[in-house]
Structure 1
C-alpha cells in the first residue's frame, strides 16, 4: 500500500515555516491540494506578513502541485471560518486539517503576564478549536475527515518555564478525545502529533547536535500517516528524528476503602496500592472509568450486605 492524497484537499495552519511547511510540501507531493495558512508573525505571535505562505505556495506550484495562501489568524474564529470558505471556493471540499500553528512566550509562572498566558492558549488551543469547528460540518456532510492536533512533551509530561504552552498542549489532547467520539459515525478521525524538531520554535531551546539530527522532514511522515485514508483514531504519536512512539492515558485498578474507614489517613495508608502502576489499564472513554468505579463500589456493597 502506498499512501497518497490524490483528490484530497488539506489545510495546514502555520505552514509558512518549520513543521507546517514540510507537512504542506509533502501533502502536495503526494497529490493533495493544499491551503497554506500562515499569519506571518514572529515566534511570539507578533507582527504579520503573507510572504512565508506565498513562498511555500510557489514551491508547490513549481513542483507541479496545487496550493493557495491564506493569512488567517487562527485565534480569530471569523478568520478561521473565512479560510475554510476560501478552501471550498477554490477546491470544492476540505478533507484534512492539520492544526500546527503555534507561538511561544516562555517564562516561569511567577513572572508570566496573564496576557502572555492567554495569547499562547488562544493560538494553540482556541486556534485548534476554531479551525476544527470551521471544517466540522463540511466533514460531516462529506462523511469523511481527518483532523490532526499538535501537542508537545511539555504538555504531556511537563517542561520548566512553559506553563502557558504546556497547558494549551495538554488541552488539545482533551479536545481530540471528545471529537473522536462525535466524529466516528461520519468517518472523521482525529489524532494528535507530539513532535520534536529543529524549527524556529526550538532553535534556541535544543542543543546544536540535537537540532542537526531532528529535521522536520523526519517528523512529517508520522503526521501524514495520521491524516491518511486508513489512519488510526485517537492516537498520540511521538515523533522526532525518525523515532516514533505512542502515548496514552492509563489508570490503575480502583481501590475501595470502606465508608467507616474513609479518611485522609486511610487514603494515605492505601496510596501505595492505589498508585500501583502494574495494575494500570487503558480507558477507551469516560464511561469505562465510571463503569470500573461503579462495579468496584457495588461489589463491596453486596459483600457487606
Structure 2
C-alpha cells in the first residue's frame, strides 16, 4: 500500500506542544501536512501558560523541512478558538483537519474532588472540543468537507479509579463524537474518536503511583512500552482523506490498535413488563454475546453496511481487536 500522504493539507492540532499532540504533529508533518501547533503551555492541572511548548514543536518541524505555525490560544475561549482558525487560514490559506487533543488531568477519589475539578475538566476536554469542532465544522461546510479526530479515552469505561472528573468529561467527548458523526456525512465531513494508550506527563509514574498506591518506580517501564509515537498511527489514519470511517472510536498504543464501540443486545421483551420479570430474566437482559453495533460507526457515506447493525435494547461499551 502506498504511503498515506498529506501534501497540501493543513492540520490544526490542539495540545500539540507535548506528548501525544506533539507526536501527531511530527508524524503528520513528516507526511507533508502543514501544521498549526495549538498549545497554551499550561501545567498538568490547567494552570499557568507558556508559548514555549508550541514554539519548540514548530521549530522541530521546520528543522526537519516541514511547515508549521504556533497558536498559544485557549480552547476554552471562543475568541481563542477563532484565532486558531484565523492562524491556519492566514498562514496556509486553508484548513482540512482538526485533531482535538488538548487536555488536563487531576486524578482523585470522588469524595475528595471539589466541584471546580469537574468544571475545569469539562471546560477543557468537553467544551474545548465543542468550540473547536463547531468552528471548523462551519468552515468545512463551506469548503465541501473535512475531518475531525477527537481525543477520547478509556477513562469513562470504569476500568480505573480516580477517573470521575476526567472520565466524566471524556465521556461527554465520546457522546459528542458519535452524535456529530450522525450529521457529518451530508457535508462531506467525517468525525471519529481516538483513545491513546500512552505514557505521558498525564500518566507519569508519579500520577500512576497516586492512582494505584504503588511506588512510582513500578511504573517506570511504561514510557518504553507506550511511547507517544506508537499511538499516533491511528490518529494519522483517521485524519487522512482516504479513511472511510465515520463515528468510530479507535484505541491505539504499544503496537496495538483496536476498536471501542457502543453495543446493544436484543434484551427481553414483554407486553406487560414488570420489575419482577426483569429480575427473572436479568441474565438475558445483560447478555452481550450477540450484541451489535449502535449508530453510524461505518463508512463515511454509508449509514449501515449490513443488516447486522440493527438496533437493540441494551447499551454498553466494549473493546475488540
TM-score under structure 2 normalisation?
0.86
- The aligned residue for residue 182 of structure 1 is 183
Q: Which of 225, 228, 237 pairs up with 1:225?
A: 237
Where in structure 2 are the equivalents of 1:190-209 lying within 5 Å? 190-204=191-205, 205-206=207-208, 207-209=219-221
Aligned alpha-carbon RMSD (Å) = 1.9
- The aligned residue for residue 253 of structure 2 is 240
Where in structure 2 are the equivalents of 1:1-305 lying within 5 Å? 1-204=2-205, 205-206=207-208, 207-231=219-243, 232-259=245-272, 262-284=273-295
Contact 1:159 1:166 in 2 (8 A): no
Contact 1:34 1:68 in 2 (8 A): yes
C-alpha separation between the residues in 1 aligned to 2:253 and 2:111? Answer: 31
C-alpha separation between the residues in 2 aligned to 1:291 and 1:226? Answer: 25
Report the alpha carbon displacement of residue 128 of structure 1 after superposing the two structures with TM: 0.5
C-alpha separation between the residues in 2 aligned to 1:92 and 1:243? Answer: 36
Contact 1:10 1:33 in 2 (8 A): yes
- Which structure 1 residue ranges, 4+ long, deviate > 3 Å from structure 2? 285-293
Report the alpha carbon displacement of residue 67 of structure 1 after superposing the two structures with TM: 0.7
Q: Deviations over 1:218-238 (max 9, x none)?
A: 111111001001112111111
C-alpha separation between the residues in 1 aligned to 2:287 and 2:20? Answer: 38
C-alpha separation between the residues in 2 aligned to 1:202 and 1:158? Answer: 15
Question: Rg larger in 1 or in 2?
Answer: 1
Report the alpha carbon displacement of residue 64 of structure 1 after superposing the two structures with TM: 1.2
Q: Deviations over 1:225-277 (max 9, x none)?
A: 01001112111111111111111011111321232xx3211211111111121
C-alpha separation between the residues in 1 aligned to 2:312 and 2:23? Answer: 43
What's the secondary structure of 1:192's corresponding residue?
A: strand
TM-score under structure 1 normalisation?
0.91
Structure 2: runs of 5+ lacking an equivalent: 209-218, 298-302, 314-321
Contact 1:149 1:190 in 2 (8 A): yes
Structure 1: runs of 5+ lacking an equivalent: 294-305
Report the alpha carbon displacement of residue 291 of structure 1 after superposing the two structures with TM: 6.8
C-alpha separation between the residues in 1 aligned to 2:159 and 2:72? Answer: 31
What's the secondary structure of 2:169's corresponding residue?
A: helix
Report the alpha carbon displacement of residue 285 of structure 1 after superposing the two structures with TM: 5.2
- Judge which range, 198-207 or 284-293, deviates more: 284-293
What's the secondary structure of 1:201's corresponding residue?
A: helix
Contact 2:294 2:310 in 1 (8 A): no
Instruction: Number of aligned residue pairs: give it.
Output: 291
What's the secondary structure of 2:201's corresponding residue?
A: coil
Contact 1:11 1:36 in 2 (8 A): yes
What's the secondary structure of 1:105's corresponding residue?
A: coil
What's the secondary structure of 2:110's corresponding residue?
A: coil
Report the alpha carbon displacement of residue 201 of structure 1 after superposing the two structures with TM: 0.9
Distance change >3 Å, CA 62–CA 75, structure 1 → 2: same
Report the alpha carbon displacement of residue 292 of structure 1 after superposing the two structures with TM: 5.2
Higher helix share: 1
What's the secondary structure of 1:245's corresponding residue?
A: strand
C-alpha separation between the residues in 1 aligned to 2:5 and 2:158? Answer: 33
- The aligned residue for residue 302 of structure 1 is none
